[in-house]
């Protein structure tokens, strides 16, 4: 609202963007996709909020960056653009996709859906995040390039190729963060 007010009042040349959930390389493993990849690789519990049926739209990070670049260079100032990937998927289906893909890439028989643990949902957790990118498509001709199936496989391969990065980023400091947000949640399935 403040940014829009500066445009309306002083003609400050700004644009506002809103995007759906990003995924791709270098994402900190507090987020769903890298968290599940890392936990699978270490045969740790896969904490899924509620029943896992919350829906999110997913966009590959480079598609998001391309949209921002296009908006900076071509958009009319003052507009608000939504950036979505056209990939609305339930959280539990994301987790199962990661398990299947990791099993395929690592021949990991111990990576299974048995690792999934349903944890108490966050208070006020939205059931669905959706994004309408039609203005961005109509005005600037933008479309996401990466199909989710390809993007998730590329992302998983990136994490497998960068295990040292993952090990460093999941140091003791990360473990303290993880314990704070997931360690004290009540289990739903009674385990």
122-158 confidence digits (pLDDT tens): 888 889 989 999 999 999 999 999 999 999 999 999 9
Percentage of residues in the chain with pLDDT exceeding 70? 93
pLDDT of res. 191: 47
- The count of other CB atoms within 10 Å of the CB of residue 1 is 6
59-113 confidence digits (pLDDT tens): 999 999 999 999 999 999 999 999 999 999 999 999 999 999 999 998 867 899 9
Q: What is the pTM of this model?
A: 0.85
Domains and CATH numbers, the chain: 2-183 (3.40.50.720)
């Amino acid at each position: 609202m403040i940014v829009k007010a500066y445009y309306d009042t002083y003609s400050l040349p700004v644009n506002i963007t809103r995007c759906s959930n990003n995924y791709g390389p270098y994402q900190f493993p507090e987020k769903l996709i890298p968290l599940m990849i890392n936990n699978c690789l270490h045969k740790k519990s896969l904490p899924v909020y509620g029943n896992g049926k919350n829906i999110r739209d997913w966009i590959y990070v480079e598609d998001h960056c391309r949209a921002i670049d296009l908006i900076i260079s071509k958009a009319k100032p003052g507009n608000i653009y939504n950036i979505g990937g056209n990939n609305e998927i339930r959280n539990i289906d994301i987790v199962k996709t990661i398990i299947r893909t990791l099993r395929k890439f690592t021949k990991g028989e111990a990576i299974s859906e048995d690792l999934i643990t349903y944890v108490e949902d966050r208070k006020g957790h939205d059931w669905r995040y959706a994004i309408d990118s039609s203005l961005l498509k109509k005005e600037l001709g933008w479309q996401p390039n990466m199909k989710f199936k390809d993007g998730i496989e590329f992302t998983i391969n990136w994490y497998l190729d960068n295990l040292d990065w993952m090990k460093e980023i999941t140091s003791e400091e990360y473990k303290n963060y993880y314990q704070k947000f997931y360690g004290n949640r009540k289990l739903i399935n009674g385990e």
